[in-house]
Amino acid sequence: MATCIPLSVKMSPSIALGLRYMFNGRYSSRTLLKALSDLSRRGYSASAPQAVEDLNANGSFSGPLEHYNSLIRDGSLGEDEHQKAVVQKLEQMHKTLRGYTNTPTSFFSKFFTKPKPPKGYYIYGDVGTGKTMVMDMFYSHVETEKKKRVHFHGFMLDVHRRIHRLKQSMPKRKAGKMAKSYDPIAPVAEEISEEACLLCFDEFQVTDIADAMVLKQLFENLFLNGVVVVATSNRPPEDLYKNGLQRVNFVPFIAVLQQYCQTLRLDSGIDYRKRNRPSAGKLYFLSSEPDVEATLDKMFDELAFKQNDITRPRVLNVHGRKVGLDKACGTIADCTFKELCDRPLGASDYLEISRLFDTVFIRHIPLLTLNKKSQARRLITLIDAFYDQKVRVVILADHPLENMFVHDGDHDHDDSHVLMDDLGLKRDSASDLTIFSGAEEVFAFQRTVSRLTEMQTEEYWIEGDRSIKA
């Protein structure tokens, strides 16, 4: 039975963000409860505007390094020299960014030379090594209101929405008149720069050609507008969009990224998400288990009983499109793999599901071979969105988690051949492209397995309960 956090414990959203790292596979429920109780006794309330002001006023940590060291001293974290080396770098940036702004502070200051922004950091390493934890710890202590912490998928969706909005706002050209070329990327970058001088990206990855083609110009303008970037990724910069379509047009972005961000490797070889930690109970079921459908039905009914709603179909409105789910009750959705991954859904759909539901059942996940590469890619995107928003999952699959995805050579090439012909690619030259080889899915699925392992723990289940937060 999962431990419940007392409802009397209140904390600001920014303090809650500072505690997020506790659930990256490194904390027990007892540690969390003690921390929350301490915060409550010290007077934190939901109306506190900034975590840093609260922390300083209460004589707490001066920055991420002191915070990190204290967790090692009290046994909440184990010694990890790779993590500590990265935290030390982020500590220096924390000090450098104190008082930094990329906008004029007065009418006269805009006529003088802007201060040179500090270099950001691009932190990469294997899955589950604590990259998100150290970045979130840094973010929670940075003393600026103009900061944003976003998942890279969500950020790029927002960028494309802004680009579309600006294009739509342009006056229609008259018949017979040549249309003036209009490039909305620089104005979009300026908009974002006005909203944030620090951008922290989790899971910086490039798999979409539409993203790949705009990144250089977008980030070049962000950096020129004084935006500082800190990002985490599973891949070094030079491996981003590796073997992707038209990668030659993407490669200049790598040079821009390396010019404005120092590369840090965080790779201790330990996946902390797979540590032996208290389980939230059985959340991963196999189709071969007796009466397994009835077991999941009972779990859903027990969760739905606590909702102020009836079990019914739901229709989601995602940017003007209708996405139907057959069975939901309040913040609980009961879906099939076919519903979520056989349809042409993408990150925007999964982010909307993440916004509306805190618990999602995913039934009938098949063995994912390269015949089901598109579905596998959607499942990876789905779990990334769920993990970032702390959505809880109950899974029914045909195979154990570690064996869910199989990269074999026995698959139908017909669809790939049609796409190669449409793109005008020769069969030999296209054989190494990730869109045809499945290599990107194999790499990303390692992250999915790691995340789904953590998502079955007691800590994750507690943090994902939005009724407690409400």
361-404: pLDDT as tens digits: 999 999 988 778 889 889 999 999 999 899 999 999 999 998 88
Q: What is the pLDDT of residues 180-203, one digit of tens each?
A: 567 899 999 999 999 999 999 988
Res. 414: pLDDT tops 60: no
Q: Which of residues 251, 274, 297 is at a domain's end?
A: 274
Q: Are residues 305 and 252 in the same domain?
A: no
* Mean residue pLDDT across the chain: 79
Angle between helices 131-141 and 64-73 (to 10 degrees): 120
Residue 405 confidence (pLDDT): 84
Q: What is the pLDDT of residues 323-355, one digit of tens each?
A: 999 999 999 999 999 999 999 998 889 999 999
Query: What's the CATH code of the domain at 295?
Result: 3.40.50
Res. 266: pLDDT tops 60: yes
Res. 275: pLDDT tops 80: no
Q: Are residues 72 and 214 in the same domain?
A: yes
Q: Are residues 367 and 427 in the same domain?
A: yes
Q: Which of residues 259, 274, 289 is at a domain's end?
A: 274
Q: Are residues 368 and 452 in the same domain?
A: yes
Give me the number of domains the chain comprises.
2
Q: Measured between alpha carbons, how far is 148 from 1 in angstroms, rounded to an integer?
A: 35
Q: What is the pLDDT of residues 122-149, one digit of tens each?
A: 999 988 888 999 999 999 999 887 999 9
pTM: 0.63
Angstrom distances, CA of residue 167 to CA of 172, 241, 410, 463: 10, 27, 44, 40
Average pLDDT score over residue span 302-310: 93
Residue 108 confidence (pLDDT): 54
Single-letter amino acid code for the residue at 433: L
Q: What pLDDT band is residue 38 in, cutting at 50, 70 and 90?
A: very low
Return the closest-CA partner of residue 89 out of 261, 257, 270: 261
Q: Measured between alpha carbons, how far is 379 from 382 in angstroms, rounded to an integer?
A: 5
Angstrom distances, CA of residue 447 to CA of 17, 55, 74: 22, 33, 29
Q: Are residues 246 and 360 in the same domain?
A: no
- Please name the residues in contact with 259: beta carbons below 8 A apart, sequence gap of 6 or more: 223
Q: Is residue 439 part of a domain?
A: yes
Q: Are residues 287 and 263 in the same domain?
A: no
Q: What is the pLDDT of residues 150-163, one digit of tens each?
A: 988 889 989 998 99
Q: Are residues 267 and 341 in the same domain?
A: no
Q: Are residues 258 and 403 in the same domain?
A: no
Q: Is residue 306 part of a domain?
A: yes
Q: Is residue 294 part of a domain?
A: yes
Q: Are residues 415 and 382 in the same domain?
A: yes
> Domain span at residue 113?
61-170+181-274
Q: Is residue 84 part of a domain?
A: yes
Q: Are residues 289 and 362 in the same domain?
A: yes
CB–CB of 262/224 below 8 Å?
no
Q: Which of residues 241, 274, 307 is at a domain's end?
A: 274
Angstrom distances, CA of residue 185 to CA of 93, 160, 164, 189, 252: 28, 9, 10, 6, 16
DSSP state of 307: S
Residue 259 confidence (pLDDT): 96
Q: Are residues 443 and 367 in the same domain?
A: yes
Q: Are residues 247 and 148 in the same domain?
A: yes
Residue in this structure with the two tokens 């018949």, named with its chain if needed: 175
Return the closest-CA partner of residue 226 out of 124, 52, 104: 104
Q: Is residue 8 part of a domain?
A: no
